[in-house]
Amino acid sequence: MNSNHLQGLCLLNTRPKGQNITLSQTIAKAGGRCIELPALEIKPTDGWFEHLPDMSRVTQAVFTSPNAVNYFFGKLTQQHVIWPNHIQVTAIGKASALTLSQWGIRVDKIPAISNSEHLVQLDAFQTVGNQTIMMVKGEEGRTLIADTLRLRGAHLIELAVYYRTLPCYSAHEINSLWHDDSVNIILFTSQQAIDNLFTLLGEEGRLWLCNKPCLVISERLAKAASLRGIKPIITSSYDSILDSLYIFYKQTFQKKKQGLIHGQQQ
């Protein structure tokens, strides 16, 4: 693939502010364009630090997102709390692992596929009876990890260090999306982002959203998008987003070119 292999493609990047930059830059380098419209706003929660356990008793810690890592260790640094080296650390994915390493934290385990289902299949979480496990997460996330670890006998301490909320945009910013119709495909990396974009667009933009191709990073999100009425759905792993966009680009823009050539020949 050359440096312009996405020339003319426009992606609506709904990732939260601060987490959308790398992908947008990568797509720009490939000749494409991103419209950044974070469908989630991330904010720190209050009061969780008061529930921080005696970490000398914690055997394992699970971090479910880069946001969880940053808000947790940001607070620990502020409060001059030193992270103990004996805790076995699991990151749900590569992005969380990278963020942990940036804080100087050793990562012991990462699931092969970045989701809750594969995390609870790791050997470290099969026999956890009487272990104290700390899970650092956002509010209102999925409960699969917590439910599974408790069922297996772990003493689980959940720390919700951030929450997600609906961002505010002007009517012009929102309405221009479907009025201009310059977007070729929409990226969703969470179910709440899907729900929030429907809320932001309202009834007027619903038809546009339902008929616009979307790229999601799990089968679970594909099902959620389908239930909301979105028809063209592409499923990819997060690490394969660029490859999936290239396949979509070839299929979509090749059809347009073939249509133009066919029209010229008639």
> Is residue 224 in a domain?
yes
Return the CATH number at 17.
3.40.50.10090
- Assigned domain for 180 exists: yes
Domain presence at residue 4: no
For residue 80, being part of any structural domain is answered with yes
Query: Residues 65, 160: one domain?
Result: yes
Number of domains making up the chain = 2
Length reported for the chain = 266
Task: Express each pLDDT in 62-87 by its tens digit.
Answer: 999 999 999 999 999 999 999 999 99
Is the predicted pLDDT of residue 215 greater than 90, yes or no?
Answer: yes
Percent residues over pLDDT 90 in the chain: 79
Residue pair 214/185 in contact (Cβ under 8 Å)? The answer is yes
48 & 154 share domain: yes
Q: Can you give the residue range of the structural domain that contains 100? A: 43-165
In this predicted structure, what is the pLDDT of residue 260? 42
- Structure tokens of 79? 């409060």
Name the DSSP letter for residue 133.
E
pLDDT in tens, 165-176: 999 999 999 999
Model pTM score:
0.81
pLDDT (0 to 100) of residue 255: 63
The residue written with tokens 């394992």 in the block is 60
State the chain's mean pLDDT as an integer. Answer: 91
From 158, 192, 198, 160, select the one nearest 41 (Cα to Cα): 192
Which amino acid makes up residue 36?
A: E
Domain end point (choices 165, 183, 213): 165
Determine, yes or no, domain membership for 233: yes
Residues 179, 138 share a domain: no
Residue 1 domain-assigned (yes or no): no
